[in-house]
Amino acid sequence: MAIDLPAPSGAKLPLWHTIGLAYSSYFHNFPDVLRASWLWLLVVATMAGIANWLQWTRIAGLSRDARRDQRRPRMRYSGSRDCGSSKADTPTGR
């Protein structure tokens, strides 16, 4: 039992017209969006500003410490062959 389907006519859906209508309805109602979410936007902007300030002060401190450490002479490893063992490590203490 075969179903006869009509052949495609080559007509396309109005995709760009539909996308344009979707965005135009959003931007047409954008003042209502701002009216409903102004408090939330204010809180989020304040929190983002505080987080950004803390992050940049931390980065500045780490950068300052890294520059300070570069100026300080480094201790060199003596390279002793006994691997750090001493007479106190032996059972007799000699």
pLDDT along the chain (94 residues), means of 10: 62 84 90 94 97 93 82 64 56 58
User: How high is the pLDDT of residue 73?
Assistant: 65
User: How high is the pLDDT of residue 8?
Assistant: 61
User: How high is the pLDDT of residue 52?
Assistant: 96
Gap between the Cα atoms of 39 and 12, Å rounded? 44
Assess if residue 89 is contained within a domain: no
Residue bearing tokens 């100026």: 71
Assess if residue 54 is contained within a domain: yes
Gap between the Cα atoms of 29 and 42, Å rounded? 20
- pTM value is 0.46
Assess if residue 56 is contained within a domain: yes
Gap between the Cα atoms of 83 and 30, Å rounded? 72
Assess if residue 77 is contained within a domain: no
Domain that holds residue 55: 37-61
Gap between the Cα atoms of 20 and 28, Å rounded? 12
Assess if residue 49 is contained within a domain: yes
Assess if residue 48 is contained within a domain: yes
User: How high is the pLDDT of residue 71?
Assistant: 72
How many domains, in total, are found in the chain? 1
Assess if residue 43 is contained within a domain: yes
CB 87 within 8 A of CB 93: yes
